[in-house]
Structure 1
Amino acid sequence: MPYVTISTVRGILDAAQKKALLDRVTDLLVEIEGQGNADFRRNVWVRIEEQDPSHWSLGGMQPTAEIIAGTFGTIGADGLRIARQKA
């Protein structure tokens, strides 16, 4: 029974991306560990763990909500990414 935890910075993935990630990781585990047996799916646990940007560092730089929004776009109240305006 596999348990997979994906750690990421809060604000990078929107709800649709999280669902796609959960589905695809599950599919991959069914294909590889479960050898394609569809019944294996009910044994697969996948968790996305999000932490505040202040809990992360990349090359000594801590991302901020503003940096994340500027890079990936803003997530709306519905949990989905708001399309960025093109210049």
Structure 2
Amino acid sequence: MPYVHLHTLKGLLSPQQKRALMDRMTALLVEIEGGGDPAFRKHVWIRIDEGEPEQWQLGELRPTPDLVERLVEVREARRAAGEAQDGN
């Protein structure tokens, strides 16, 4: 019975993105560990924990809620620009 525990910054993922991550990680484990057996899905545990940005540090980078908000804005702008290019 696999158990996947993902830690991320609060506000970085939308509810839809969390659902997509859980669905894809589950599908991957069904394919690899479960040998493609759909019944294996009921044995896969996925947990996503979100921590306050102030509780994280990467080297000298100490995220803030404002930084997380800016990262999300940049990501969404890039996504929209990519979709606009694909539509041309």
TM-score normalised over the length of structure 1 = 0.81
Letter in 2 for 1:47: R
Q: 1:2 and 2:23 equivalent?
A: no
SS class of match (1:59): coil
Name the Cα RMSD after superposition. Answer: 1.5
Shift, 1:9, TM fit:
0.7
Instruction: List 4+ stretches of structure 1 deviating above 2 A.
Output: none
Deviation digits for residues 6-59 of structure 1, max 9, x if unmatched?
011111000110000000000000000000000000000000011000110122
Count of aligned pairs: 76
Query: Could you tell me how far apart the structure 2 residues matched to 1:20 and 1:66 are?
Result: 25
Q: How does 1:1-80 map to 2 (within 5 A)?
A: 1-73=1-73
Structure 1: gaps (5+ residues): 74-82
Q: Which has the higher helix share?
A: 2
State, as a whole percentage, how many aligned pairs show the same letter. Answer: 47
Structure 2: gaps (5+ residues): 78-88
TM-score normalised over the length of structure 2 = 0.81
